[in-house]
Amino acid sequence: DRLEGLKENVIVGRLIPAGTGSVINKMRRVATERDTLIAANRKAEAATRALQDETDSFASEDAEAASEA
């Protein structure tokens, strides 16, 4: 509805800025989507790092075992 707030002005019968708050709501929605995306990316990066650390740990254990033999 591109006339958000306009119908309310007619019902109330006095001047109220049309669309008041719609920009803020859009900014909040965009910020929430952005924050969700950032959190998902950070979680994926942490999982990748943990997997890499685990792989490095196994590789160093294998290297130690090979040097002892």
Place of tokens 């943990």: 50
pTM higher than 0.85 for the full model?
Answer: no
User: Which position has the higher pLDDT, 6 or 30?
Assistant: 30
Q: Residue 12 falls within a domain, yes or no?
A: no
Average pLDDT, integer, range 23-37: 90
As given in the structure block, the two tokens for residue 69 are 């033999």
Distance of CA 56 to the CA centre of its chain: 30
The number of domains in the chain is: 1
Q: Residue 4 falls within a domain, yes or no?
A: no
| In contact, 3 and 18? CB cutoff 8 Å | yes
Q: Residue 60 falls within a domain, yes or no?
A: yes
User: So what's the pLDDT on residue 24?
Assistant: 80
Containing structural domain, residue 31: 20-68
User: So what's the pLDDT on residue 30?
Assistant: 94
User: So what's the pLDDT on residue 68?
Assistant: 72
Q: Residue 55 falls within a domain, yes or no?
A: yes
* Mean pLDDT rounded to a whole number for the chain: 79
**Dihedral, CA of residue 9, residue 13, residue 17 and residue 21, to nearest 10:** -50
Q: Would the pLDDT of 23 be above 80?
A: no
Integer Cα distance of 9 and 35 in angstroms: 34
Q: Residue 44 falls within a domain, yes or no?
A: yes
Q: Residue 30 falls within a domain, yes or no?
A: yes
